[in-house]
Amino acid sequence: MAGDFYGAFDRECLVDDFNSKRAEDYRSVFHQDRDRIMFSPAFRRLQTKTQVFQAGEYDFYRTRLTHSLEVSRIAESIAIWLRHANPQVVIDLHLLEAICLAHDIGHPPFGHAGERALNQLMAEHGGFEGNAQTLRILTRTIYDGREGRRGMSPTRALLDGVLKYKRLYQKGDPNHFIYQDQAGILEFCFGKSNPDPALKSIECQIMDLADDIAYSCFDIVDGTKARFLTPERLEARAAREEGVERAHLAVLREWMIADKLQPKINGLIGELIKSASLQEQTVSAPKETNRHSFKLVITEEAKAKIKLQQSLCRVLVYGSSALQQIEYKGGKILQKLTEMLFENYLGATIKPVRLVPEDVHRRVLDQEDISTRARLLCDHLSGMTDAYALRSYKRLLDPDYGSISELI
C-alpha cells in the first residue's frame, strides 16, 4: 500500500535447505510469523522455564512465558505511543509481537546458570548463547517432522528484530554472540556477514526497551512479594544515592509501606513508555528498508529509574543467597546431564545407550561429525523445561526414581 513503512525487502522470507517457500495466505507474512511462534512447542515450553524465581515455586511469580507476554504488550504500547509524534512510522504490531514472543525461546532451563553451563561445555563445538539459539530455533528446529527438524521460513524483518548480537562465536566467548554457521543469516538480513554490531532495527530497539521496562519493574514487584526487597533495604540503599535515584528510592519505599507497589508500578510503566521518542539517524544498513532509519531514545530521568531498579534487583534479589543457591544447583544439574549425554554419544562407545527420546537418539547417531552431534544434543538440552531437566536428572541418577511407563 502507498506510504507503507515496510516493503518487499522486509517481507521476504528465508528459503534454504531448512526453510521452504511459504504458500499464499490470507494473513500478512508478519501475522504468520506471530502465529507460527505462538503455536510452537518452543514457545509453550517457556511456561516452565525460570525467569527469576524457580518455575513452579509459587503460582504468582513470573516465568519466561509470562515475561514474554508482558514484553509484547509493553512493546505494542511503545509503538502506538511513538506513532503520535511520528505518524509516518507505522510499526507493524504483528511483527513486533512476533519478535517479543520469540526473544527468549532460545533460553535453556535454569536461567543464566543453565546458559553458562551449556556455553562452557559447548566450547569445543561452537558455544551456546540464548540469542543464537533463538535464531537456530526460528531457522532450523522449530518444526519436527519425518524428514527431521526445519525452520519456520521467517521474514527478514523478524530475524533482524531478534538479532540483538551480530558477532560470530570465537572460542572462549562468554556471551553476546551467534553461532559460526549463522553467518548466512547475517548475510540474508544485511547483505553481508559482518554488519555493524551496534546496528539494530527499530523493532529490535523497541523490544529491548520493553524487555528492560518489564524486568526492571516486575522483578521489583516479585522481589518484594518474596521479601528480598523491603522498605528498610531501600532506605539503606538511598543513603548511598543522590538526585533522581535517591528521590525514586524514597517513592518506591512509600509505595511499599502503603501496600500500593503493584498499581503504582503499573503507572510507572506508563510513564516510562511515554518517555520514549524517535530520532532519525544515518547508518550503514540496507537501503531497501526503513527499519534502521530511526534511533529509539528515552529521557535521562527514565533511564536513571530503569538503571536503578535493575541494580536493586541485581544486588538484592538475583544476588541473594537463596536465589544464588538455586541457580547454582540448576547449573550443576544441567552440567551433569550434558556431561552424561556427551560421554555416551560423543565418546568411543560403539553402541550408545538410548538416553534421549528415540527421534533425538536416531538423529544424533545419523551424524558422523562430533560437533554436529554435540549441537543436536545441545538443542535437546536447551529445549528442556526446568521440570523436565530435573526429572531427567533424577531418572538417570536417583536409584529410587523412575518408571518404565514414564514419558521421556
- For 35-51, how does the pLDDT look when each residue is reduced to its tens digit (9 = 90+)? 999 999 999 999 887 76
Angle ∠(257,261,266) on CA atoms, nearest 5: 160
More confident residue, 12 or 63: 12
Scan for cell 538440552, then name that residue: 381
Residues 259 and 262: their CA atoms lie apart, in Å, by 8
Query: How would you class 368 by CB atoms within 10 Å of its CB: exposed for 0-12, middle for 13-18, buried for 19 or more?
Result: exposed
Residue 220, Cβ density class (10 Å: 0-12 exposed, 13-18 middle, ≥19 buried):
buried
CATH 1.10.10.60 fits 8-67+89-176, yes or no: no
- What's 234's DSSP letter? H
Instruction: Name the residue ranges covered by the structural domains of the chain.
Output: 8-67+89-176, 202-321, 326-397
pLDDT digits (tens, 9 = 90+) for 254-306: 999 999 999 999 999 999 999 999 999 988 778 899 999 999 999 999 999 99
pTM greater than 0.85 (yes/no):
yes
More confident residue, 158 or 399: 158
pLDDT one-digit tens code per residue, 141-178? 999 877 789 999 999 999 999 999 999 999 999 999 99
Task: Give phi and psi for 214, each to the nearest 5.
Answer: -60, -55
Tell me how far apart the alpha carbons of residues 82 and 97 are, in angstroms, rounded to a whole number: 16
**pLDDT band per the 50, 70, 90 thresholds, residue 319:** confident
Q: How far is CA 100 from CA 65, 212, 332, in A?
A: 11, 12, 29
Q: With bands split at pLDDT 50, 70 and 90, how would you rate the model's confidence at 1?
A: very low
CB atoms within 10 A of CB 400: 5
pLDDT digits (tens, 9 = 90+) for 95-128: 999 999 999 999 999 988 999 999 999 999 999 9
Q: 9 falls in which pLDDT band (50, 70, 90)? A: very high
Tell whether the model's pLDDT for residue 53 goes beyond 60. Answer: no
Largest Cα separation within the chain, whole Å, is 67
Beta strand 148-150 with 143-145: parallel, antiparallel or unpaired?
antiparallel
